[in-house]
């Protein structure tokens, strides 16, 4: 499911991606008892990964146009470390949702 979100993150903005996919996934999310806020955080992390990965990562093209010096290949090489970090964070949040839900739970008084 998150591979789909990474691919969509490279092609669509986040609002379009969420509006198109969440209505299909929401019954399954509720049936499995997954926290909706945690699922939203995972969607945003996958979207961020898609925004910087080749071949269509929009943020890499924006960064290359702002700086104008490096080639797009240089920008993608620089983005790889950030993508690796985001994949590690996504994995940690998937395995232990309490990491992402700590602050919302504190605010709700849980």
Question: Are 52 and 59 spatial neighbours (Cβ–Cβ below 8 Å)?
Answer: yes
Q: Is the pLDDT of residue 31 over 90?
A: yes
Q: Which residue in this structure is represented by tokens 């940690």?
A: 92
Tens-place pLDDT, residues 38-62? 888 888 888 888 888 877 777 888 8
24-38, 49-63, 91-105: least confidently modelled range: 49-63
Q: Which domain holds residue 89?
A: 2-108
Q: pTM score, two decimals?
A: 0.78
Angle at 29 between CA 22 and CA 39, to 5 degrees: 70
| Closest C-alpha to 82, from 48, 55, 36, 43 | 48
Work out how many domains the chain is built from and give that number.
1
Spatial CB neighbours of 98, under 8 Å, sequence gap ≥ 6:
105
């Amino acid at each position: 499911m998150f591979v789909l979100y990474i691919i969509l993150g490279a092609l669509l903005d986040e609002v379009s991606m969420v509006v198109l996919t969440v209505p299909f996934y929401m019954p399954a999310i509720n049936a499995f008892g997954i926290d909706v806020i945690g699922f939203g955080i995972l969607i945003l992390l996958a979207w961020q990964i898609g925004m910087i990965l080749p071949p269509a990562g929009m943020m890499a093209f924006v960064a290359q146009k702002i700086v104008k010096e490096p080639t797009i290949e240089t920008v993608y090489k620089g983005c790889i470390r950030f993508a690796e970090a985001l994949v590690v964070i996504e994995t940690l949040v998937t395995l232990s949702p309490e990491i992402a839900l700590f602050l919302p739970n504190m605010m709700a008084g849980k």
